[in-house]
Amino acid sequence: MSKEKIIVLSAVLVDVIGFGIVIPILPFYVSEFGASPLVITLVFATYSFFSFLSSPLLGALSDRIGRRPVMILSITSTAIGWMVFASAHSLWLLFLGRIIDGSAAGNFSTAQSYMVDIAKDEKERASNLGLVGAAFGVGFLLGPVLGGFLSKVSHSFPFWIAGGMAATNAVVAFFLLPETHHKRDTHRPMSFNPLAPLARAAQNHRLRPLYMTWSFFAFAFVTAQSVFALFVRDTFGFSAYHTGLAFSVVGIVVIMNQGFLLKKFWLARYSEPALEVIMLVVLAAGLLFIAAELLPLFFVGLLCLGTGQAVLRVVITSQASAATDPAKKGETIGILSALMSAYMVVAPVLSGSLYELNHLLPYLLSSALLLLGVYFALRFRRIAAAEATA
């Protein structure tokens, strides 16, 4: 493995470990401030709203000035955001911490752009994106377990550790992270309107079905994830520690798929468009298994969730970057990130409201949305097939 890959993957790993530490603990921590399930999901949505505004801009900025400075900026923002969050003594400071983090949230999408930059062909591009996903999975495996142990000190302690890890990561990235985007167009006009890239995405007839598939996946995934800690607490009596272990199970499945099975099994047997359809169905089934409220089926559902998201994220990102001008790959990946963030604004609020009505509703809705996404996946598959035969 090249030096560039090792450094980028290490930066992703440390960042995601910090993220994984706090995600299972966050609902419990925010609850200490007297927050209702709706307010807890609003804390998630605040970060996502500002990430939605910043992600396309950061992606376009990385196309213009390079991946390295954008990555360093994003990691630094994460460090400051988590430290403000950890030191909060009122709800408004919790929201401020998430605003700071979300205002420069481009860590993962910029890392994906790095790996696309250094890929020599289509197969290596998907493989490189799989490695980023595998690093993400390792972080989600280690982070929640570590977060569960750290939460025994206090619910705020994991956030201090996450902030410290991000600060260390920023320093290491400053001295060691290389620049991989050498064909920059520094003279191309750049709009600072955060909605401009999304407007261009809506006008892209070729990629629009792919963006729609991603949108249904994002909406469904975030809707289910937003109330996951509350669901397992109320349904199975899970503590913060047990919730962290559940996230770790998903992390193990993600690592297995993106680190090994993606290249040797999934991509060897199926085309990327076919995998879109398969994984949407797998995800829909997994959410229904979780909604069954039976512990054995719950773990089957976790297996489906880990497999479905691991493969689907890679194949959609790979196809989107393949169909994009090399000078605009960062913007395209940033658009995918922005769409995910947009639904992370809306979905948690909807999920929290539905959960208060009936705790199964978020999972039933998410399963239905994924099945709707199959239509657009099949549409994009037809477009790709038509272009191949033209």
Query: Is residue 192 in a domain?
Result: no
Query: Is residue 233 in a domain?
Result: yes
Contact 232, 327 (CB under 8 A): no
Query: Is residue 130 in a domain?
Result: yes
Query: Is residue 183 in a domain?
Result: no
* Reported pTM: 0.72
Query: Is residue 201 in a domain?
Result: no
Structure tokens at 54: 């910043």
3-state class of 29 per DSSP? Answer: helix
How many structural domains is the chain composed of?
1
| pLDDT tens track, the chain, 390 positions | 677 788 778 777 777 777 777 777 777 888 888 888 778 878 877 877 887 778 777 877 888 888 888 888 888 998 899 899 889 888 899 899 889 988 877 677 788 888 888 777 766 777 788 888 777 777 777 777 788 788 888 888 888 988 898 898 888 888 888 887 767 666 666 666 667 767 777 888 888 899 999 999 999 998 998 889 889 999 999 887 788 788 778 878 888 888 788 888 998 899 888 899 999 999 999 999 999 999 999 999 999 999 999 899 989 988 888 877 767 777 788 788 778 877 877 887 788 889 989 999 999 999 999 999 999 999 888 877 777 676
What's the domain range around 27? 3-177+206-389
Query: Is residue 194 in a domain?
Result: no
- Quick one: which of 130, 153, 108 has its CA closest to 14? 108
Query: Is residue 367 in a domain?
Result: yes
3-state class of 201 per DSSP? Answer: helix
Query: Is residue 182 in a domain?
Result: no
CATH number of the domain bearing residue 369: 1.20.1250.20
- Quick one: which of 214, 59, 219, 82 has its CA closest to 143? 82
